[in-house]
Amino acid sequence: MLTAQGVSSPANVSASSAAATTTSATVLFADLRGYFALAERLPASQVVLLLGQFFGLLKSAVLQFGGQVYQIAQARMMAGFGVGDSSHTRTLEALAAARAIQETFNSLRTSWQGEFSIDTGVGVGIHRGEIAIGVFGPPGHEAPTLVGDTANVAALLCNRARAGEVLLSAVVNPSSNLARAVNVSRQSLPFLHLPDLALRSRSSPLDVWCVPAIVRLEMREGATAPSANPQDVSRR
């Protein structure tokens, strides 16, 4: 597990903390679809360069809208918005960052497809709720990360998002008014209310909304999320 550049400890958590700090946050997960095929077909040194481009794009979008990057692992990133801020949920900022990620990645996807003939895309999941801030890592390199069911749900939504989509819980999108409130590149976000979604390891279905892909991306067989169970990827 690697922590990204620019991460800070919003709750003044140190590696020697006796107990984790509990607070609220809007958690965003973003995952590179097609990573398996990319890693299989290209030299490892080339994969490093492409991941550098990918994570640079993600980090830029998150920081642009006031979020913080908490974790980078393989081809996936976790970010937090409004961490410890009880008066501002920062859900609009998280949604704006997600849309910026999808819009910006389109040009990168086209470039990679032309140069390497590999299909890629990004799936994004967002959820808000209670989290704990834990500090983990090897000695001398500990860093804060977000732990708990909220982060888990955001990760599961990310798994279920198709390439180019953003899936968010009803906690993040409580009404259609939110769709009109977010404006990225001067285009209102189209929101779709999906049927209740059953997520792996959860006892009850979740009320879920979707910001669909700008252009429907057809991923070839095998181009799924690197950390996703197959049953988490398809919504059918």
Full set of structural domains in the chain with CATH: 21-215 (3.30.70.1230)
pLDDT of residue 15: 42
pLDDT of residue 54: 97
pLDDT of residue 219: 60
User: Got the DSSP string for the chain?
Assistant: -BPPTT---TT---TT-SSPEEEEEEEEEEEEETHHHHHHHS-HHHHHHHHHHHHHHHHHHHHHTT-EEEEEETTEEEEEESTT-TT---HHHHHHHHHHHHHHHHHHHHHHHHHH----EEEEEEEEEEEEEEEESSTT--EEEEESHHHHHHHHHHHHSPTT-EEEETTT--STHHHHH-EETTEEPP-EEPPPB--TT-SS-B-EEEE--SS---PPTT-S-TT--HHHH---
For the chain (236 residues), the mean pLDDT of every run of 10, in chain order, is 44 49 93 94 96 97 96 94 83 93 94 93 96 89 91 95 93 58 51 85 86 72 44 44
pTM higher than 0.75, yes or no? yes
pLDDT of residue 199: 83
